[in-house]
Structure formats: structure tokens, C-alpha cells
């Protein structure tokens, strides 16, 4: 696989809401290994763009391709592809009723059919890389903003995505 493989291609993407049109003819392509930042004032469509990519919003027009396969034509496809396009939300969206470990292992167990022991081992390894192994049994309310963010990143990494979308990736 070449290092310059195009993973994501966006063509003529548009999104209209009832009273705004944040995305108008947006085009871009993202190659494996590239890091791309989208910068702009509040309310200009950055989150909407990311949400269209993994289909949390339905685009009004245009096409999105993941490794050459169109993902805008058939909503069913995105369920499978969403596992390859991870997202770290602006507010992190950790499950408040689950501890850190459960937050991380639930999706790999449900969607990737990892057994609990393997999912846990992998989660603990990832937690070690962000120096939060000691928080595995804590609940999200017991963490600082920066710690929640690192857990949200680990939760995404545990699914082994090919692309990660970060919405406002700063520590709050």
C-alpha cells in the first residue's frame, strides 16, 4: 500500500439547514498519514463538515469517497465504514454511566467481536500510552477535561480506525 494512497475524497459537498448553508461546494482529499487542520471562526461549518464525513449529518449534495468507494450513495454502507472513520467529539461524549475501561472496550466487543479479555488487554495497553492506566475503574465525572479527552482518543484508537476526525482537539 503506497504512503500516498488517497483515503478520503470529498467532492462538491454542500449542506443546507433551514436558515443557513455552512457548506458550499467543499472539495478536498486526504492521503494516508496526512494531518489536516480546518480553521475558521465559530459557526462556519467545521463541525458540520466532520459530521457529514461520518454521516452524523446527511449532506445536501456532493459526494464522499472512502478509499475510492462512494459512501454518500447508500446510508447502510456508512455503518460499516464508520468503524474505519473514528471521531473524537468536541465534548468527548464519554458514556457517563460506564467507567473508563467500559467506555473503551464496549465498541470493540460489540462491533469487532473482541472477547472481554482481549479487549481489556488492548485497552490497558492504550491507557498506558496516555498515562491513564490508573483511571481504568474511574467514571468520566471523576476526570479532568484533559483526561476525558485522552480517554476519548483511546476509545477511538481501540477501534483501529483508518482516519480520525477530531472536533476542536484542544484541552478545555
86 binds, among Mg ion, ligand ADP, none (CB under 5 to 8 A by kind): none
| 46 forms part of the interface with ligand ADP (CB under 6 A) | yes
Residue 100 to residues 121, 138, 156, Cα–Cα distance (Å): 14, 6, 13
Least Å from the CB of residue 145 to Mg ion = 16
Residue 43 to residues 15, 22, 148, Cα–Cα distance (Å): 13, 8, 24
| 47 forms part of the interface with Mg ion (CB under 5 A) | yes
Which among 42-50, 74-82, 98-106, 107-115 is the span making contact with ligand ADP, rule CB under 6 A? 42-50
| 48 forms part of the interface with Mg ion (CB under 5 A) | no
| 42 forms part of the interface with ligand ADP (CB under 6 A) | yes
| Inter-helix orientation angle 116-129/145-157, to 10° | 130
Tell me the C-alpha distance between 156 and 86, whole Å.
6
Cβ-based nearer residue to Mg ion, 46 or 82: 46
Do 104 and 88 meet the contact criterion of CB atoms below 8 Å apart? no
Binding site for Mg ion (CB under 5 A): 46-47
Binding site for ligand ADP (CB under 6 A): 17, 20, 22, 40, 42-48
Amino acid at each position: 500500500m503506497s504512503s500516498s494512497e488517497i483515503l478520503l475524497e470529498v467532492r462538491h459537498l454542500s449542506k443546507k439547514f433551514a436558515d443557513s448553508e455552512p457548506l458550499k461546494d467543499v472539495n478536498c482529499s486526504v492521503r494516508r498519514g496526512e494531518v489536516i487542520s480546518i480553521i475558521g471562526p465559530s459557526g462556519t461549518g467545521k463541525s458540520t463538515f466532520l459530521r457529514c464525513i461520518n454521516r452524523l449529518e446527511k449532506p445536501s449534495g456532493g459526494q464522499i469517497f472512502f478509499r475510492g468507494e462512494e459512501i454518500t450513495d447508500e446510508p447502510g454502507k456508512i455503518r460499516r465504514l464508520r468503524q474505519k472513520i473514528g471521531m473524537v467529539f468536541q465534548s468527548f461524549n464519554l458514556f457517563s454511566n460506564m467507567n473508563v475501561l467500559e467506555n473503551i472496550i464496549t465498541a470493540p466487543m460489540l462491533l469487532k467481536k473482541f472477547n472481554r479479555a482481549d479487549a481489556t488487554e488492548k485497552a490497558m495497553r492504550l491507557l498506558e500510552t496516555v498515562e491513564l492506566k490508573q483511571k481504568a475503574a474511574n467514571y468520566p465525572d471523576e476526570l479532568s477535561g484533559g483526561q476525558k479527552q485522552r480517554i476519548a482518543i483511546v476509545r477511538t484508537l481501540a477501534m483501529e480506525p483508518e482516519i480520525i476526525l477530531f472536533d476542536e482537539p484542544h484541552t478545555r
